[in-house]
Amino acid sequence: MTQQPQLDNRAHVAPELSEERLASVWFNLSSEQRRRSQRTRRGMFVAAGALAAAAAALLVVWRVMPAAPDQWAGTVLRTAKTPMQVALADGSTIKAQPATELQLLSGSKTQVRFALRRGKAAFEVARDKKRDFIVEAGDVRVRVVGTRFSVARAAAGNGVEVVVARGIVEVRDGQGKTLRLSAGQRWSRGVNLALASPAKQPPSPPVPPAPPRVEPPDDGTRGGDAESKPPQRRRSRSRGAPSAAKLFEQATALRRAAKHHAAERAYRRFLARYGGDARAPLVAFELGRLRMDQLGDARGAVRALRRVLRSKRAVLREDALARLVLLYGRLGDKRACGRSKARYVRLYPHGRYAAHLADRCR
C-alpha cells in the first residue's frame, strides 16, 4: 500500500529561533539597510551600529520619524531596565544607562546633535575636527571634538551633570555662560540629582572597556587564538586600521559571501583589536558558529564559544552553551560534554535546547 506522505511537517523541521539569533540578524539587516541607503543619500548621518545582538532583550525601542530633515533625525534611543551600548558608523559609541531617552536631533558631516531627554548617557566620540558633536540636556549644551564624557539629567527639574573622562568639552549653560572642562573635571547644576556618579570622586570612565580577561581553557584545548588573548584597546586604529564597526561589517560581508576562511580571519582580527567592544561576544559567537558549521574546526569553535561564556553579557550564552555540548560530544570529550550539559540544565532547566540536548554526552 502506498503511504500517503504527511503534509505540513513544519513543526517537525522548525528552526530554533532564539531571541539572540533574531536580534543578531536584525542587527545585520538594519546595518545593511542603512549602508544601502547611505549609498544613495550622500552626506547623511548614519547611526550605523544600531543595536547589538542583545537589543531586543534590553527592551529597547528605536523609532525613526518620517519626514525628518535627514533620514535619522528624530531617532530615539530608549532604555528600560538595562543599559545599552550603541556604536555609530564613525566608531563613536554611546552607552545609555537604564531609564534613559536620547534623541538624535540632526546629523550631518559637520554636526551631530543629540538631546538627552532623561537619564544618563556616556559618549566616546571619535576624533573628527571637521564635525561638532553636541549633546543638549535641557538648556545645557555640551560640545566636543573627540573625547569621552557623560551627561546625566535629573528625573525632574533642570539638574544636569557633565563628567569628562578624556579630552576637552565645552559646556554652555542656560544663561549662555561657557566653560571648558578637561579630563577629570565635572560640572553640575542642581544638587539633588539622583545621579549615578558620586560628586567628590574623580570621574570613572563612563564607558569602561571590558577588563582584559585571560582564562586558561579548562577543556584541554590550547588557547592560542586571538579570541583567547586579552582584548587590546583601540591602539591600532590610530595606525590606519579599520574601526570596530568597519571590521565587523567586513567580517559579516565575507561570511555572507561564503568566504569562510577570510571571515574567520576577520572575526579573529576583530577580537584581537576590539576585545572590549560591545560586539565582541557576538563576534566570538559568530566565529564559533563559523568554525563549527562551516570549517569543521570543533576545537577552534570551543575556544570561541567559551569566550562567549566568559563575557559579562548574558545574551548568546544559552546558545553558546548548547553548542558547546554538541561540540564536546563531537570531540568525544564525555567529561566536558557532561559538565557543559549539566551547566546548561542548571542555568536553563526549561531552555530552548533542553530537549535537543537530552540524549547527548552518553
Partner 1 sequence: MADADLVAQAREGAGWAHEALYRRHASLVFGLAHRLLGGREHEVDDVAQEAFLQAFEKLDKLRDAQSFAKWVGSIAVRCAQRRLRRERLRRRLGLGPAESIDTERLIAPTTPPDVAAELRRLYAAVGAMPVQVRTALILRRVEGMSVDEIAEHMSLSRSTVKRRVARGEAQLAKLIGGAP
Q: Name the residues that contact partner 1, by CB under 8 A.
A: 2-3, 5-15, 17, 21-22, 24-26, 28-30, 32-33, 36, 56, 61-67, 71, 75, 255-256, 258, 289-290, 293-294, 355-356, 358-359
Smaller CB distance to partner 1: residue 259 or 310? 259
Shortest distance in whole angstroms from residue 91 CB to partner 1: 22
Task: Give the chain's radius of gyration (CA, Å).
Answer: 23
Smaller CB distance to partner 1: residue 194 or 355? 355
Shortest distance in whole angstroms from residue 194 CB to partner 1: 29
CA 142-46-60 angle, to 5 degrees, is 80
Smaller CB distance to partner 1: residue 166 or 265? 265
Encoded amino acid at 170, one letter: E
Beta strands in the chain (DSSP E): 61-63, 76-78, 84-87, 93-96, 101-107, 111-124, 132-137, 140-144, 148-153, 160-166, 168-172, 178-182, 186-189
- 195: which residues sit within 8 A by CB, 6+ positions away? 120, 152, 154, 159, 161, 188
Q: Is 351 helix (H, G, I), strand (E, B) or coil?
A: coil
Smaller CB distance to partner 1: residue 272 or 354? 354
Smaller CB distance to partner 1: residue 63 or 180? 63
Cα 357 to Cα 317: distance, rounded to the nearest angstrom: 15
Encoded amino acid at 160, one letter: V
Smaller CB distance to partner 1: residue 148 or 255? 255
The residue count of the chain comes to 362
Residue 158: alpha-carbon gap to chain centroid = 31
Smaller CB distance to partner 1: residue 185 or 340? 340
Shortest distance in whole angstroms from residue 312 CB to partner 1: 25
Q: Which one-letter DSSP state was computed for residue 40?
A: H
Shortest distance in whole angstroms from residue 38 CB to partner 1: 14
Classify residue 49 as exposed, middle or buried by CB count within 10 Å of its CB (0-12, 13-18, 19+): buried
Strand 111-124, strand 93-96: pairing: antiparallel
Shortest distance in whole angstroms from residue 265 CB to partner 1: 16
Shortest distance in whole angstroms from residue 72 CB to partner 1: 9
Shortest distance in whole angstroms from residue 29 CB to partner 1: 5
